[in-house]
């Protein structure tokens, strides 16, 4: 008997939600045939069959949240298995290799009931598919409005309300031609709508509560003139109009590099507090997490070893990981090891915030909306591109004065981006 378990698949990931089964008890399966789809707070993956045989028993049901080490189902291995295979040894099913297979798999293959069929692949998150399935909606009939035609949760709800599942409108009652009487209008109560609080949304909530309950947050605000760095970005693009050398560098990549250089001067913010051992661990590597909004909630891919990388390399890696975060294609290794986090919410229009620190890190900096503002330079009033930043830090680890000096150093580097060239290895 072969046991299929949920194994440890990454830092801080202790449980996963069973999204859907592709098989049922009594089904015959082949090696590597998808059995079940599982979603953790960071990845969504299909677990393949480690052996050929018959599904003997399914231990959990769709929607259950299972912990690492839990048996999800058992398979009675077929007699055609190699004679030297020990059937009594449980199979170790790792989710991460499965994620790699999903990314490399042909996009036009859809698994239905464990059988591969060639249909048009509908882009939709597992939770979105679950909403459609529970409401009896064929997700292939929905026109996606998300990036790349992706079907969003709201698309499904709109289809339920306005599509084939829309409520039947009551016929208006016939009225006599007596215009002298005016009846009060009648209204139909629409009730409420419930969204399951589980999966990634629940994991995000747990981490936010843990961070706020553990860390005494203090937020410091500053204003930065980004005119020079935006001009430098334009100059780099103009130097290579055809972009053959990848000179189209995002402004956010300069922000990341500026933070890394400032962390070298103020390593207390590139640290983690170990209360049990009563030590503050200063991390040597600078691994900066990029808070990214996706259809399934907040995801934080990590740009590793920033201290060893130039601005262009940072920009390329950041663009790749943000794109994969939005399409749910990140690996577990892409989201672990962070030492400091940034949140670039400016494109969304934010002007200020008090961000929550990504525990167990000790600081987070948010970059807000850039707008042209009249400012005094010397004795003249000029128009400059100004941006607000907010930095939340753990007051157990650092003091306010240190946070102000750190932010001032970041400000100096962004306002004078050529200073960063002096810090190159």
Distance CA 109, CA 125 (A): 16
Distance, CA of 11 to CA of 168 (rounded, Å): 49
Any idea how long the chain is? 425
Contact 341, 300 (CB under 8 A): yes
**Cβ atoms 115, 24 nearer than 8 A:** no
Active site residue 395: yes
Q: Output the DSSP codes for 236-283.
A: HHHHSTT-TT-----HHHHHHHHHHHHHHH-GGGSEEEETTTTEEEE-
DSSP letter, residue 41: S
Backbone Cα Rg of the chain: 27
Task: From the candidates 7, 14, 217, 395, give the one annotated as an active-site residue.
Answer: 395
Match 């600081």 to its residue by tokens. 363
Burial of 221 (0-12, 13-18, 19+ CB in 10 A): middle
Instruction: List, in sequence order, the alpha helices (H) in 300-346.
Output: 311-326
Task: Return all residues near 366 (Cβ < 8 A) that are at least 6 apart.
Answer: 342, 343, 344, 345, 350, 353, 355, 389, 390, 391, 392
Distance in angstroms (rounded) separating the CA atoms of residues 311 and 416: 15
Q: Are 370 and 387 in contact (CB under 8 A)?
A: yes
Q: How many CB atoms lie within 10 A of CB 377?
A: 10
Beta bridge partners of 224: 387
CA distance 419 to 40: 42
Strand pairing partners for 342?
290, 365
CA count, 13 A, side-chain hemisphere, 212: 9
From 239, 380, 391, 229, select the one nearest 315 (Cα to Cα).
229
As annotated, the active-site residues are 395
């Amino acid at each position: 008997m072969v046991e299929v378990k949920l194994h440890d698949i990454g830092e801080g990931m202790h449980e996963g939600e069973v999204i859907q089964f592709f098989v049922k008890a009594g089904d015959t399966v082949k090696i590597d045939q998808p059995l079940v789809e599982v979603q953790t707070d960071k990845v969504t993956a299909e677990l393949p069959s480690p052996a050929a045989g018959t599904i003997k028993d399914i231990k959990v049901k769709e929607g259950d949240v299972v912990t690492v080490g839990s048996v999800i189902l058992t398979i009675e291995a077929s007699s055609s298995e190699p004679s030297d295979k020990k059937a009594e040894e449980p199979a170790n099913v790792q989710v991460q290799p499965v994620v790699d297979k999903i990314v490399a798999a042909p996009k036009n293959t859809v698994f239905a009931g464990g059988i591969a069929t060639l249909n048009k692949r509908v882009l939709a998150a597992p939770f979105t598919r679950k909403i459609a399935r529970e409401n009896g909606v064929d997700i292939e009939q929905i026109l996606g409005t998300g990036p790349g035609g992706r079907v969003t949760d709201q698309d499904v709800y709109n289809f339920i309300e306005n599509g084939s599942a829309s409520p039947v409108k009551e016929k208006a009652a016939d009225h006599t031609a007596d215009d002298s009487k005016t009846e009060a209008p009648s209204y139909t109560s629409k009730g409420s709508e419930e969204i399951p609080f589980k999966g990634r949304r629940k994991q995000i909530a747990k981490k936010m509560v843990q961070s706020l309950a553990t860390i005494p947050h203090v937020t410091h605000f500053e204003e930065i003139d980004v005119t020079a760095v935006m001009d430098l970005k334009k100059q780099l693009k103009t130097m290579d109009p055809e972009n053959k050398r990848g000179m189209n560098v995002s402004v956010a990549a300069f922000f990341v590099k500026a933070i890394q250089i400032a962390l070298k001067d103020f390593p207390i913010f590139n640290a983690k507090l170990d209360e049990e051992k009563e030590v503050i661990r200063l991390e040597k590597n600078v691994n900066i997490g990029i808070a990214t909004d996706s259809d399934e909630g907040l995801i934080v891919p990590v740009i590793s070893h920033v201290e060893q990388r130039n601005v262009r390399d940072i920009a390329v890696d950041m663009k790749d990981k943000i794109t994969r975060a939005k399409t749910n294609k990140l690996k577990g290794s892409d989201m672990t090891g962070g030492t400091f986090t940034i949140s670039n919410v400016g494109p969304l229009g934010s002007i200020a915030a008090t961000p929550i620190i990504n525990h167990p890190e000790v600081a987070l900096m948010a970059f807000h909306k850039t707008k042209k503002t009249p400012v005094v330079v010397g004795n003249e009033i000029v128009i400059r591109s100004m941006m607000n930043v907010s930095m939340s830090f753990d007051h157990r680890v650092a003091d306010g004065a240190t946070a102000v000096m750190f932010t001032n150093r970041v400000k100096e580097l962004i306002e004078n981006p050529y200073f960063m060239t002096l810090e190159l290895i």
